[in-house]
């Protein structure tokens, strides 16, 4: 029976699979003329926001493909599998804006109940700053000055301000470290490595500047407003 099941999946994927799979930037345009020019090597690549589709890149040439009904493309195994067997990154909110002081959090609404595994915030416009008098302090995720430039201060909470991301303890100053991300990175990806976050349809989620959230009296000279799109790996219950 297991062999038959594997054979069916293989048959569904014939012509769609290659030896190399990977991930594309979430802001890559879905245009046949430009899609593969942003990819570093040939292979199959999933569409963000539509897990049933993927693109096969050969040089700069893209061939757009779709999995059969009720199947999603899985980049880990480079084939089409049942939806329950793959977790997909979907955009769940657009243009959510938050400020750096005065309880200036932004918020978005969870579209369906499930397990929240990952949030990716994609820069759209604006900035936040830890020093309104210094343009060098302008940042997408916290502060651009000195050692703060490699620390993050963008924090995600529930409506009662219970911390969701980062999953580890937030510093008393509202900052935290995050590998391979700095104050001008175009995206901020936050994972939960310490368990599973159960989330409910209709729940309001907040995005804060960390100094504003902890309110330790250091936010007075902060400034700016930063707007993001919100992407999530949200597995259905």
Question: pLDDT at position 26, please?
Answer: 43
Residue 4, pLDDT > 70, answer no
Please enumerate in sequence order all residues whose Cβ is within 8 A of that of 88, keeping only pairs 6 or more positions apart, or say none.
46, 51, 72, 233
pLDDT tens-digit profile of 79-128?
A: 899 877 777 778 899 999 999 999 999 999 999 898 888 888 989 999 99
Mean pLDDT of the 153-180 span: 91
Higher pLDDT, 114 or 134: 134
Please enumerate in sequence order all residues whose Cβ is within 8 A of that of 234, keeping only pairs 6 or more positions apart, or say none.
90, 92, 110, 111, 112, 114, 115, 116, 117, 199
How crowded is residue 103: how many other Cβ atoms within 10 Å of its Cβ? 12
Mean pLDDT of the 195-202 span: 87
- Which tokens belong to 211? 């100094």
Question: pLDDT at position 210, please?
Answer: 96
**148 half-sphere exposure, CB direction, 13 A CA radius:** 22
Question: pLDDT at position 186, please?
Answer: 84
Above pLDDT 90, what percent of the chain?
41
Question: pLDDT at position 30, please?
Answer: 52
Report CA-CA distances (Å) from 119 to 45, 67, 128, 142, 221: 20, 25, 20, 17, 29
Above pLDDT 70, what percent of the chain?
79
Return d(Cα 3, Cα 100) in angstroms, integer: 56
Question: pLDDT at position 32, please?
Answer: 59
Tell whether domain 89-235 is in CATH 1.10.3470.
no
DSSP 66: E
Instruction: Output b/e per residue, 158-191; b: 16+ Cβ within 10 A.
Output: eeeeeebbbeeebeeebbbebeebebebebbbbe
Question: pLDDT at position 53, please?
Answer: 86
Higher pLDDT, 205 or 43: 205
Question: pLDDT at position 1, please?
Answer: 41
Distance spanning both ends of the chain, measured CA to CA: 27
Higher pLDDT, 49 or 170: 170
Return d(Cα 115, Cα 117) in angstroms, integer: 6
Residue 175, pLDDT > 60, answer yes
Question: pLDDT at position 233, please?
Answer: 80
Residue 10, pLDDT > 90, answer no
Residue 11, pLDDT > 50, answer no
Right CATH number for 32-82 from 2.60.40.1180, 2.170.140.10, 3.20.20.70, 1.10.10.10?
Answer: 2.170.140.10
Greatest mean pLDDT range, 18-27, 56-65, 94-103, 228-237: 94-103
- Which tokens belong to 123? 């820069």
pLDDT tens-digit profile of 14-49?
A: 333 332 333 444 444 455 566 676 565 788 877 766
Element (H, E) at 213: helix 210-214
Return d(Cα 222, Cα 110) in angstroms, integer: 29
Greatest mean pLDDT range, 45-54, 63-72, 132-141: 132-141
Give the start-to-end residue ranges of the domains of the chain: 32-82, 89-235
């Amino acid at each position: 029976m297991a062999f038959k099941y594997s054979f069916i999946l293989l048959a569904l994927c014939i012509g769609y699979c290659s030896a190399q799979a990977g991930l594309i930037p979430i802001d890559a345009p879905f245009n046949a003329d430009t899609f593969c020019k942003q990819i570093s090597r040939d292979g199959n690549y999933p569409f963000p926001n539509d897990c049933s589709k993927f693109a096969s890149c050969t040089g700069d040439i893209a061939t757009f493909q779709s999995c059969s009904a009720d199947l999603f493309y899985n980049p880990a195994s480079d084939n089409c599998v049942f939806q329950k067997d793959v977790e997909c990154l979907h955009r769940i909110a657009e243009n959510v804006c938050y400020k750096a002081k005065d309880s200036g959090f932004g918020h978005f609404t969870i579209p369906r109940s499930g397990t929240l595994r990952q949030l990716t915030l994609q820069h759209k416009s604006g900035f936040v700053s830890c020093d309104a008098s210094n343009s060098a302090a302008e940042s997408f995720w916290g502060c651009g000055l000195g050692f703060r430039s490699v620390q993050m201060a963008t924090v995600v909470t529930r409506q009662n301000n219970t911390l969701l991301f980062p999953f580890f303890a937030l510093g008393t100053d509202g900052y935290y470290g995050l590998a391979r991300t700095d104050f001008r990175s175009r995206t901020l990806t936050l994972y939960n490595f310490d368990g599973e976050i159960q989330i409910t349809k209709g729940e309001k989620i907040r995005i804060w500047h960390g100094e504003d959230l902890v309110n330790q009296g250091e936010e007075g000279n902060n400034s700016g407003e930063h707007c993001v799109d919100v992407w999530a790996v949200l597995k259905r219950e």
